[in-house]
Amino acid sequence: MISLRFPLRTTLIAVALVMGQGEAMSADLSKPLSSPIVIAHRGASGERPEHTLAAYDLAIREGADVIEPDLVPTKDGHLVARHENEISGTTDVAAHPEFADRKTTKTIDGQSETGWFTEDFTLAELKTLRARERLSQLRSTAYDGRYQIPTLEEIIALAKQRSKELGRTIAIYPETKHPTYFASIGMGTDAPLVAALDKAGWKTADAPVFIQSFEVKNLQHLKTMTGIRLIQLVAGEGGPADGVAPSYAAMMTPEGLRQVATYAWGIGPDKAMLWKGDAATTLVADAHAAGLRVHPWTYRAENQFVRPAFRKGTDPKAHGDVAGEIRAALGQGIDGFFTDFPQIGVETRNAVVRAR
């Protein structure tokens, strides 16, 4: 397991105590299998346009242990960071008349989508675009138009550079987006991802990398290609697009989790799956029993996204008590969590670990 050093020396000591003397923990707390890590969801995406070097760098400066790029391919075979391959919501592509004829409609994982798609652009063309805030009704647009779309190689370089400068390991947590779709059009992402990680010297389970996917077959394929830790993403409804399982709910039963553990190191569940009303579900304990780490997603500060018990007022843009929501999840023994607001996440995690 890689060493992810936390910003505070006291936190490091506390983590050592927790992981080395778990029997001393409060009896009403589940025991994490790993020291809880803070994963910057698309970077510090609550404060900068998501999936930009600026968002990743801010997350690192705020103390995040891990930065998360979603990866999609370009026409000429590069992997770039976008939440979706359709980019009209996160870039100014619609304002570029030279690309007007690239607007099209495609069916991706059974859903019809209209817009502009990364696989129809070369990297050089995408670099002429500028990122903008996706949640413009909730978050500031002050940084729109400033930043380019980064490549996977640029993100790896940033993580390595900051790790060296700060003296602590910054990990990356790439997600392969729509792998079945991209494989069907001859643009599979598994091989270029592994090649980039190999070039960085990251090949084994102790490398500062996690690879995640909502699908199963590509994770099983990646298991044969690399020793990097793999994370099975799951959501409450539906099932994987590759049709391997009838539903994510079936995958999250004790038997289903044992099957997941044959190829994955951990799971990334929708945070709602940790709760049934105000009561904790058995998901964290069941996953730990199967030897799987648990990294739920996504903790966002705005009232619109926090669980009802942690909202403050009725303004959807106002910040609720996301720290309280994170504390409740840490109380279940999760091994890390995704957040759009890394500073809040780091401060909350550190306080919880100190208290333990």
**Residues that are catalytic:** 41, 83
Q: How far is CA 83 from CA 102, 164, 171, 268, in A?
A: 19, 28, 19, 16
CA 85 – CA 80 distance, rounded (Å): 9
138 contacts 39 by C-beta, under 8 angstroms? no
Contacts of 178 (CB under 8 A, 6+ apart): 72, 85, 108, 109, 241
Nearest alpha-carbon partner for 36 in 345, 334, 351, 346: 334
Q: What is the DSSP string of 236-291?
A: SSS--TT-SSS-HHHHTSHHHHHHHTTT-SEEEEBGGGGEETTEE-SHHHHHHHTT
Report the residue count for the chain.
356
Tell me, what DSSP letter sits at residue 298? -
* Beta carbons within 10 angstroms of residue 271's beta carbon: 23
Signed CA dihedral, 116, 118, 123, 128: sign only: positive
Tell me whether residue 106 is exposed, middle or buried, using C-beta atoms within 10 angstroms of its C-beta: 0 to 12, 13 to 18, 19 or more: middle
Beta bridge partners of 269: 234
* Beta carbons within 10 angstroms of residue 16's beta carbon: 11
Up-side HSE of residue 48: CA atoms within 13 Å toward CB? 21
257 contacts 265 by C-beta, under 8 angstroms? no
